């Protein structure tokens, strides 16, 4: 079920993004070309799929909220373009293809990321099928998660920590912000747009926090034992950049145990949900076996 669901929803996201971001539709078409290069580079659309799955889990229809789902994917894509820049992680490949700055140059890559971020909010605010006050609340929460108190703040901690020994509290804070914040915003957004109860939102928030932790730990593991052909970028970049990870602070085996524990806690958060949350359950248990 999970594979079919993700394939269907990812195709829907791709179709909607193509309609929202038509080729050449700008005063400088090369900017749109650079945006589309990374936007359609083969991403799994995990964050928008999680948004839709969360809406489904509370009895709604996730495919009614495509503008917000696409906006979150655009924010995620902008962050990848900027993360790959020489001043950040200095990566040459992303998803098996040359990174944006390798194709378009650093200046245009920065502009493509800026354009994706700003366009995301304009597109999310077009969202229908939900009360305007709910849309505003959701967009506010996504903006908070993407900014200095979330993803950008986590990235700043990451940059400042390169080549240094940091404690587990710092690495946990860094990943909660850098990786976990946007996951949590996506899941909460789906629930709120679908008119979830306060109890349902609280339970899905706990699920999201444990999902984000499990994702980050398994990401650290894949950087050590993964295959470049499958993950789409060189392995071992964390070691080369002297980054602190769950594997470097603990060990590979301990990191695997921590990932399994986080998955178990995410599953526990869904205990009051029925069959509607099946996709969320399958998505978090998949993290333990993922290879990309």
Measured CA to CA, the distance from residue 2 to residue 6 in angstroms comes to: 6
Query: What DSSP state is assigned to residue 127?
Result: -
Closest CA to 34 of 126, 118, 113, 97: 113
Closest CA to 193 of 126, 245, 130: 130
Q: Report helix, strand or coil for 27.
A: coil
Query: 131 Cβ partners below 8 Å, 6+ apart?
Result: none
Is the CB of residue 78 less than 8 Å from the CB of residue 142? no
Q: Cα separations (Å) of 289 from 30, 54, 79, 179, 283? A: 39, 22, 25, 19, 11
Chunked mean pLDDT (size 10), the chain, 292 residues: 93 96 84 96 94 98 97 98 94 92 98 97 97 98 97 93 84 92 98 98 98 93 71 54 77 92 97 96 92 68
Measured CA to CA, the distance from residue 168 to residue 35 in angstroms comes to: 36
Measured CA to CA, the distance from residue 183 to residue 226 in angstroms comes to: 22
Closest CA to 271 of 200, 222, 217, 214: 200
Based on the number of CB atoms within 10 Å of its own CB, is 174 exposed (0-12), middle (13-18) or buried (19 or more)?
Answer: buried
Q: State residue 234's pLDDT score.
A: 57
**Would you list the domain boundaries of the chain?**
2-286
Is the CB of residue 49 less than 8 Å from the CB of residue 10? yes
Q: Which CATH architecture group holds 2-286?
A: Orthogonal Bundle (1.10)
């Amino acid at each position: 079920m999970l594979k079919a669901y993700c394939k269907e929803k990812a195709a829907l996201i791709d179709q909607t993004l193509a309609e929202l971001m038509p080729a050449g539709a700008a005063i400088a078409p090369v900017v749109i070309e650079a945006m589309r290069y990374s936007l359609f580079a083969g991403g799994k659309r995990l964050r928008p799929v999680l948004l839709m799955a969360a809406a489904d889990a509370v009895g709604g229809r996730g495919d009614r909220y495509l503008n917000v789902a696409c906006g979150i994917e655009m924010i995620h894509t902008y962050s990848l373009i900027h993360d790959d820049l020489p001043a950040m992680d200095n990566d040459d490949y992303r998803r098996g293809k040359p990174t944006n700055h390798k194709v378009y140059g650093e200046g245009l890559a920065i502009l493509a990321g800026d354009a994706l971020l700003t366009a995301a909010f304009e597109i999310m605010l077009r969202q229908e099928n939900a009360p305007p006050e709910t849309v505003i609340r959701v967009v506010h929460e996504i903006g908070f998660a993407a900014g200095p108190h979330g993803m950008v703040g986590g990235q700043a901690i990451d940059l400042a920590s390169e080549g240094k020994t940091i404690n587990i509290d710092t690495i946990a804070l860094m990943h909660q912000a850098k990786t976990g914040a946007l996951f949590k915003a996506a899941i909460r957004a789906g629930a709120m747009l679908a008119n979830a109860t306060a109890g349902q939102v609280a339970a899905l928030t706990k699920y999201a926090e444990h999902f984000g932790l499990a994702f980050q730990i398994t990401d650290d593991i894949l950087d050590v034992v993964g295959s470049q052909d499958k993950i789409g970028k060189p392995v071992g970049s964390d070691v080369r950049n002297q980054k602190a990870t769950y594997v470097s602070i603990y060990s590979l085996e301990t990191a695997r145990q921590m990932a399994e524990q986080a998955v178990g806690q995410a599953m526990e958060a869904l205990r009051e949900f029925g069959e509607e949350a099946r996709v969320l359950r399958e998505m978090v248990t998949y993290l333990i076996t993922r290879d990309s």
